[in-house]
Structure 1
């Protein structure tokens, strides 16, 4: 008889702390019961499946309970992608997550209820935490015996296998994995450069010269100095994007096998001092901390935004959307400007895993069937369904490859349309195909990604992989990391806005980080990375 998962006293205390002050206003209906175990006949039918085939996983229809919470897009069994999956596998899902509220609150309520669904989809780090308390079913043997597609993938990608292996040596989560490395890049108004007879900036000094010219020389031609040379739709992250121009970084990173924290490095002083200087000179949007997610739409539509560091696909699309209203509008990706020491590198990259996935709960009635269902999404048929939707509804096959229909490509947001109307591209344990994004990205975006990838600008060894931590390490991280992150964010914003001189206060800043257990934090990350590297 399976033991019902009960959160530990520490876990319950943590849940209470996280939920303090949250509203209880929304009622929660009864969840669908867990699916019954398979009959012997059904199990025999499922066991006849071979890797990559579309044989049904069960001889009779089975419904699995699922927790999947998203503020904008909730999984329902009626979504065409999941209906098609049920048709192919004889297995459907019934989402027990409540509508509304916050994701952490919904997740905590599910855990504290004492009744776990068959499948839990959430953040990998959180899932690995409760796994160590017995909430999840270890997947190692199930993957070898009942997941031929996912097992084959792990054999070909040992780096992924290492990354998803928890500190106790078990795998608990089937992750969301994505192709490609190109993510973000530098964009500049090429039409403004041409008007001012400026060459494409190749270095931080060139970039400074271009931004200064944008501010002073009226490239939009309206007779006002209303241009905003550099801006971002992400408040502090947008400012941090400039740090590599002075060989600095805002987060944890790797160098020669050692874990570092950018704000703790001496180079952070130089980076923040220069950013504060640029802000004071009007080269950085004065509203960068408040303008928000619509910054690109507002500033490009107003013909006032000059340069940005952002995603290739969505940023390149402004060349299309602005072409009718701003004659000659040309926003092109450029190589990363060389830093003050001459480095040409892009420190952002498309994460191999986005930190989400799904797992089998310890209370699943038939873990073997659930594993087979999770594995279906890694078959050729399941992967196409996840990425492109339903054949003849969202795509057709052309020369053996799925090609989106015009109805899909003309949507304002292809991704939102695929998710909301079909259930494709949700944050489940599946393998995202970069080909889906290529089809709705314009030529400029594809050329930008190619520019960065072909020239080796993307520093793929810079960012930390997803790491697993022991229970003790997780507890210390929860205690140490959040206060440090808050302190760094608040101090950095104060520096940028001129509230405090960087040079005069940086030593005290580093000393405060040390008092906040920065060295212990680095040792935890280093130990986790060493396990990953040597695993």
Structure 2
């Protein structure tokens, strides 16, 4: 296990956005303590327990250690739309955690629009820990540093970093192992195997066994990580093949996947409510024995369900399967794999009341003390050192307040919630891989060619950003709606070629050319 320690800076943010319009040379001070505002919301598994990160022990301790108060913004469910409204109104906080590649024109345009600051000088002058981390990432691979920058070489945020192997793969196909045993089925490898298994589950348990959430780009969607599409060499995100950038939404081979999915839907193998399921509905279906297969995470899916069902149904068991292929013996084409630099980062906004204080607050997590705090929490509370290894206590693994492991991890360490951080492999071993089913699953899911195909978070050049954003927004919306309609049968598969022509008419090739140019500028 490589021991480059990783950090999560999912840092706290405001509950109300009230900014002093004038001075920006000093943070607002309350009782002698500087106060900053931060746009960062807890994920769903934690949001049911707290309104904002201010209520989580991890961020209470973090603020105390750095001597800086943070007001966390209460973020609604549609965080992206909410942030867009704030930005449009020019009403944004000191620090903003976001996937900046999703900003129209990317982080370069966010800088050009005067929303966030370039951080090269800030890192040099006020973030010594982050500066050291950049050099460490440069040694791992120069591409990692490029992923933290705009095309002009400007650092735009404090990123989340992953280096240890144990932190890179954490999503994949999962099945009810006890159902496999009861039906006498083997773990599926090929698409044909999957159909036989799903059919057996349907017939034995009277369910539509393959389910997921309706949010298209949620990894828990049936499209998650291009699990079944990748068997046809279709990747439902921007990717490259031999230097050629493309998107699976416009690949001619997509028809093969849609034909399969439509067939499964018509045969009752896919949950007819997969379009409308939200996370809580989906979780309850798992708990109530209505789901036999799904795409999910090692921790907040497999680990969560195994722990929750241990007392309710002692026979309940899950197993991870390799990403499916068409022909037995083939190597899986694609699957989930994180880059070393995760495409989310906390930027410092141009409205920051005190840039140096904001940088000091964020930088703490990248030093040794901060790294231990955000990965393991408070020593003696959420972890103890055992033979030099930080080991989670019952506060995490058997929480006395009844929190799930996933919720306790978020409340007491923050690292599992994502954000601006470096994840430690020792966290992953205990949370993502602490049960044998999880370790076995990750070993299978890691066996793909994803590392050769996936892209860093590319952004078109600022001079074409508006054009790209307008085109891609229309293409993306139309593609998502069309794929769902093809699968459910509300649009006949015979119209697939018409669908491709519609993408062309919307400007797909122009958008693709802008992404190709961004790729070429980064690597050539």
Both proteins in one fold, TM over 0.5? yes
Residue 186 of structure 1 aligns to a residue whose secondary structure is strand
- Partner in structure 2 of residue 259 of structure 1: 245
Identify unmatched segments of 5+ residues in structure 1.
1-25, 39-59, 221-225
- Partner in structure 2 of residue 249 of structure 1: 235
CA contact (8 A) 1:185 1:346 kept: no
- Partner in structure 1 of residue 436 of structure 2: 443
Query: What is the deviation of 1:511?
Result: 0.9
- Partner in structure 1 of residue 509 of structure 2: 519
Residue 310 of structure 1 aligns to a residue whose secondary structure is strand
Call closer, same or farther: CA 1:314–1:369 in 2, change over 3 Å: closer
CA contact (8 A) 1:347 1:463 kept: no
Query: What is the deviation of 1:470?
Result: 2.5
Residue 227 of structure 1 aligns to a residue whose secondary structure is coil
Call closer, same or farther: CA 1:410–1:213 in 2, change over 3 Å: same
Query: What is the deviation of 1:300?
Result: 3.5
Distance 2:306 2:337 in 1: 23
TM-score by length of 1: 0.79
Residue 245 of structure 2 aligns to a residue whose secondary structure is strand
CA contact (8 A) 2:382 2:412 kept: no
Taking the TM superposition and a 5 Å limit, the aligned residue runs for 1:356-367 are 356-362=344-350, 364=352, 367=355
Residue 305 of structure 1 aligns to a residue whose secondary structure is coil
- Partner in structure 1 of residue 366 of structure 2: 378
Call closer, same or farther: CA 1:426–1:199 in 2, change over 3 Å: closer
- Deviations for 1:324-359, whole angstroms, at most 9, x for unmatched residues? 444533321122232259442442223544433222
Identify the range of structure 1 (76-85 vs 349-358) with the bigger mean alpha-carbon deviation.
76-85
Alignment equivalent of 2:472, drawn from 462, 481, 484? 481
Query: What is the deviation of 1:423?
Result: 6.0
TM-score by length of 2: 0.80
Residue 339 of structure 1 aligns to a residue whose secondary structure is coil
- Partner in structure 2 of residue 148 of structure 1: 128
Alignment length (residue pairs) = 477
Distance 1:397 1:88 in 2: 20
- Deviations for 1:504-523, whole angstroms, at most 9, x for unmatched residues? 21111111111000100101
Identify the range of structure 1 (258-267 vs 193-202) with the bigger mean alpha-carbon deviation.
193-202
Call closer, same or farther: CA 1:152–1:297 in 2, change over 3 Å: same
Call closer, same or farther: CA 1:322–1:67 in 2, change over 3 Å: closer
- Partner in structure 2 of residue 470 of structure 1: 461
- Partner in structure 2 of residue 163 of structure 1: 147
Alignment equivalent of 1:277, drawn from 259, 263, 270? 263
CA contact (8 A) 2:94 2:358 kept: yes
The alignment status of 1:387 with 2:370, answered yes or no, reads no
Residue 450 of structure 2 aligns to a residue whose secondary structure is coil
Taking the TM superposition and a 5 Å limit, the aligned residue runs for 1:248-397 are 248-294=234-280, 296-317=282-303, 318-326=305-313, 328-340=315-327, 342-362=330-350, 364=352, 367-397=355-385
Distance 1:480 1:365 in 2: 36
Identify unmatched segments of 5+ residues in structure 2.
1-14
Distance 1:526 1:493 in 2: 27
Distance 1:235 1:205 in 2: 27
Call closer, same or farther: CA 1:32–1:80 in 2, change over 3 Å: farther
Taking the TM superposition and a 5 Å limit, the aligned residue runs for 1:25-424 are 37=26, 63-70=34-41, 72=47, 80-89=57-66, 91-95=67-71, 97=73, 103-104=79-80, 107=83, 111=87, 118-125=94-101, 126=103, 128-157=108-137, 158-179=142-163, 180-216=167-203, 218=204, 220=205, 226-234=206-214, 236=216, 238-240=221-223, 241-294=227-280, 296-317=282-303, 318-326=305-313, 328-340=315-327, 342-362=330-350, 364=352, 367-411=355-399, 412-420=403-411
